Structure 1
Amino acid sequence: MIKLFVSDLDHTLWLTHKTINPQDRKAVQSLSQNNIALCLASGRMNKEMNDVMHELGVPLHRISQNGAFLHTAEQKCLYRASFQDDIVHKMYHLAHPFDIHGFISVEDHMYIPERTQTLNDIIQEMQLIVDVHPTLLTELGRTVYPSKVSFFGPVDQLKAFEQLIQGQFPGLTDSFMSDTHCMDFMPPHISKGNTLQRLLQHLDLKADEVACIGDSHNDISMLRLTPHSYVMASASPEVLQVGQYIVNSVSDAIEHFTSK
């Protein structure tokens, strides 16, 4: 029996412009009414996920920034993680020769050192909440402790940069595509799947009591955690191979596992 439903946000529960399909909204709310716990798992910040919780009007556990933070529906922070050395400062400078643009995240803020037209275009397209921090690069590791670094750009440039970082800092960071033109770099061993396991321990649940849905590479770790894994039909082939079921919407997934 499913006791917890976990959903990704972008391109899964969220459509474009951070909107939720009315059918999906109704299906999620019905789970809460039937005492099935709910969790959002996203690369987004916790405060954005809090907004979703208030919009839906149901309690939600939140795994934010790809697993760097875990907050319960009761607003208790069970876990937080950040980079432990100056790797982010070095990473940001190594990105200069590439046609990519970096955004640095802490718990409830995403920072850039300055605004440019290119960055404004990314912010608008991705509907990001971003603060300008003029002294960001000098404050890294002093007053700013990053939990995630997101680089946006052409896929070939992101992949080349990823290879460089893996060679320069072996074992010090994990990376994966979180959107079509976005690669996230995380502290080692931080993922949606690992943090979801922390939530399961907290709730005293087993993996087969959880259903998950997602669409991106950063969802793979949680999709592999349970036999009740659903992947959006719009996902890439690599992600489609991981899911047990392929669906067109969150409500389709909910209908499937509640009708068993």
Structure 2
Amino acid sequence: MIKLIVSDLDGTLMNHARQIEKRDLDAIESALNEDLELCIASGRMYSEIKMIMQQLTERYYAIGQNGATVYNKEIELLASYVFEPEVSSRVLQTTRSFEQFVNFIHCTDDTFYIRKRTEASLSYENRILTACTERGDVETALANNEMRCSKISFFGELNHLMQMKNELNDLFTGAIETFISDKDCLDVMPLNVSKGVGLSLLMSKLGLHPSEVACIGDSFNDLSMFAITEHSYAMSSSHAEIKQKASYTVQSVAEAIDHILTYNRSLQQ
């Protein structure tokens, strides 16, 4: 019996207009009415998750920043993970030469920073729903542990991001995790931090077996969740590799939830 539904936001539950379709909201309400729980798992900060989910009156669990923060339904922080100060500082120093990318430094308190605001950075800032702070001494602040960095995001052309991803993995082997989280975004995370790790912690807190959890997602940062449950749903617009790793492919969250509820009802017959 599936007891927890975990959904990604961007490209999954949330459309390109930053809206949740009524059919998906109705499906979530139906699942909650049948005593299932909901968890939102996103690369976004928890403050953004709350803004996007305002349409939902029921409470939910949340995994933010690709697993760097985990919250219960009472909005209590269950866990948070950050880089070692020297690692985050070195990542930024190393990537200074990649001038074609816009990058943001995220902290577990949901603040985020940029070295210097530019015309190129503004469009990416607008995709993040909370205010960004300009800070020219960010590497020094990280090295001195004045800021507790939980995620570093780079925005740019996908092929170039993939090249940088490979270079960072070679330079920081055993120190970082990297995920392509959107068509133009690379997220660099602390070692052993992912949505899957955050979900595993939540499952442990709730006493759930992997067979009691279903995950819905569309990007590479969702694969760590797919790996720990047999009930995984990839959006039809996902990359072929993501669909290959999922148990099912669906057009919408509503379709996935309908499949989940049908599965649960079949076990009750």
TM-score w.r.t. length of structure 2: 0.92
Deviations 1:142-179 (A, max 9, x none): 21110000011112221222222222221100101000
Q: Give the aligned partner of residue 266 of structure 2.
A: none
Q: Give the aligned partner of residue 204 of structure 1.
A: 207
- What's the offset of the Cα at 1:133? 3.0
Q: Give the aligned partner of residue 74 of structure 1.
A: 74
Distance in 2, Cα, partners of 1:251 & 1:46: 23
Summarize the Cα distance change of 1:179–1:25 in structure 2 as closer, same or farther, 3 Å threshold.
same
Distance in 1, Cα, partners of 2:231 & 2:247: 7
Q: Give the aligned partner of residue 114 of structure 2.
A: 112
Distance in 1, Cα, partners of 2:215 & 2:6: 5
SS at 2:104 equivalent: strand
Q: Give the aligned partner of residue 244 of structure 2.
A: 241
Tell which deviates more after alignment, 246-255 or 154-163: 154-163
2:129 aligned with 1:132, yes or no?
no
Q: Following superposition, which runs of at least 4 residues in structure 1 exceed 6 angstroms of deviation?
A: none
2:45 aligned with 1:45, yes or no?
yes
How many residues of Structure 1 are paired with residues of Structure 2 in the alignment? Answer: 259
Deviations 1:112-156 (A, max 9, x none): 1221000002223x3443412324332114211100000111122
Distance in 2, Cα, partners of 1:5 & 1:94: 39
Distance in 1, Cα, partners of 2:151 & 2:250: 29
Tell which deviates more after alignment, 182-191 or 30-39: 30-39
SS at 2:122 equivalent: helix
Asked if the contact 2:5/2:215 (under 8 Å) is kept, the reply is yes
Which residues in structure 2 correspond to 1:164-175 (within 5 Å)?
164-175=167-178
Asked if the contact 2:154/2:187 (under 8 Å) is kept, the reply is yes
Tell which deviates more after alignment, 139-148 or 175-184: 139-148
**Aligned residue type for 2:121:** L
Counterpart of 2:164 (choices 140, 161, 164) is 161
Tell which deviates more after alignment, 140-149 or 236-245: 140-149
Which residues in structure 2 correspond to 1:180-259 (within 5 Å)?
180-259=183-262
Summarize the Cα distance change of 1:109–1:32 in structure 2 as closer, same or farther, 3 Å threshold.
same
- What's the offset of the Cα at 1:251? 0.2
- What's the offset of the Cα at 1:184? 0.4
TM-score w.r.t. length of structure 1: 0.95
Deviations 1:193-222 (A, max 9, x none): 111011111111111011110000000010
Asked if the contact 1:112/1:131 (under 8 Å) is kept, the reply is yes
2:120 aligned with 1:122, yes or no?
no
Q: Which runs of 5+ in 2 are unaligned?
A: 264-269
- What's the offset of the Cα at 1:33? 1.9
- What's the offset of the Cα at 1:27? 0.6
Distance in 1, Cα, partners of 2:113 & 2:131: 6
Q: Which runs of 5+ in 1 are unaligned?
A: none
SS at 1:75 equivalent: coil
Which residues in structure 2 correspond to 1:72-111 (within 5 Å)?
72-98=72-98, 99-107=100-108, 108-111=110-113
Asked if the contact 2:19/2:52 (under 8 Å) is kept, the reply is no
Asked if the contact 1:112/1:130 (under 8 Å) is kept, the reply is no
Q: Give the aligned partner of residue 18 of structure 1.
A: 18
SS at 1:140 equivalent: helix
Q: Give the aligned partner of residue 32 of structure 1.
A: 32
Asked if the contact 2:117/2:134 (under 8 Å) is kept, the reply is no
Percent sequence identity over matched residues? Answer: 36
